[in-house]
A and B are shown apart, each in its own frame.
Chain A
Amino acid sequence: MVAHRILTLVAATGLLAVQAPVYAQFGRVPPPPKEPPAWAADLPGYWESLITQNWRFRMVTPPKGDYVGIPITAAAQQIADTWDPARDTAQDQQCRSYGAGMIMMNPEHLHVSWQDTKTLKVEIDNGTQTRLWHFDKTAPGDSAPSWQGISSASWVLRAASGYPFGARPKPNARYLEVKTTHMLPGYLRKNGVPYSANAELTEDYDMLRMPDDQILTLTTSVNDPTYLDYPLLLSTQFKKQADGSHWDPTPCSASW
Chain B
Amino acid sequence: MKRIRTALTLSCLVSLIVTNTAAFAQVDLTGSWTPRNSTDAQEDNPGPEPLPVDYAGIPLSDAGRAYGLLSSPDKMSEPERLCGFYSPVYTMLGPFGLAIGRVAEPLTGTTVAWTIGGWEDLAPITIWMDGRPHPSEYGPHEMSGFWTGTWEDDVLATTTTHMRASILRRNTAAHSDQATMRQWFLRHDDELTVQARIDDPNYLAEPFYITRTYSLDHKAPNILVGQPCIQGDEGVPESDVPHNMPGKNPDVPELTEQYGIPREAVLGGPETMYPDFRKKIASQYVRPEKCPRVCGGPGTYPRPEGTR
Contact = CB atoms under 8 A, between A and B. Distances in A.
B294 interface: yes
A59 B278 CA distance: 7
B69 interface: no
Contact of A17 (B19, B155, B282, B288): B19
Contact of B5 (A5, A76, A107): A5
Contacts of A76: 298
B136 interface: no
Contacts of B292: 63
Interface in B147-178: 152-155
The range of chain A's interface size is: 35 or more
B16 A12 contact: yes
Interface string A238-251: 01000000101000
B290 A63 contact: yes
A113 interface: no
Interface string B293-308: 0111110110110010
B12 A9 contact: yes
Interface string A70-82: 1111101100000
A41 interface: no
Chain B interface size band reads 35 or more
Contact of A235 (B211, B272, B296, B301): B211
A23 B297 CA distance: 44
B188 A69 contact: no
B287 A61 contact: yes
A208 B197 CA distance: 11
B193 A206 contact: yes
Given A59-B56, A126-B275, A221 B109 contact: no
Interface string B246-274: 00000000010001110001000000111
A232 interface: yes
A37 B153 contact: yes
Given A56-B259, A73-B298, A236-B211, A167 B20 contact: yes
A233 B5 contact: no
Interface stretch (A95-103, A130-138, A141-149, A168-176): A168-176
Contacts of A37: 153
Interface stretch (B23-31, B71-79, B233-241): B23-31
Contacts of B38: 69-71, 232-234
A6 interface: yes
Nearest to A163: B24
Contacts of A60: 260-261, 278, 281, 285, 287
B8 A6 contact: yes
A29 to B, nearest CB: 11
B184 interface: yes
A222 to B, nearest CB: 10
A233 B289 CA distance: 28
Contacts of A210: 197
Contact of A67 (B13, B274, B275, B297): B297
18 contacts: A9-B13, A16-B19, A17-B108, A17-B110, A52-B209, A59-B278, A60-B278, A60-B287, A63-B288, A63-B289, A67-B300, A69-B37, A70-B301, A74-B298, A107-B275, A162-B23, A219-B193, A229-B298
The 3 closest A-B pairs by CB, nearest first: A69-B41, A20-B23, A107-B275
Interface of A: 2, 5-6, 9-10, 12-14, 16-21, 24, 37, 48-57, 59-74, 76-77, 107-109, 126, 156, 158-164, 167, 169-170, 172-175, 177, 204, 206, 208, 210, 213, 215, 217, 219, 221, 229-230, 232-237, 239, 246, 248, 255-256
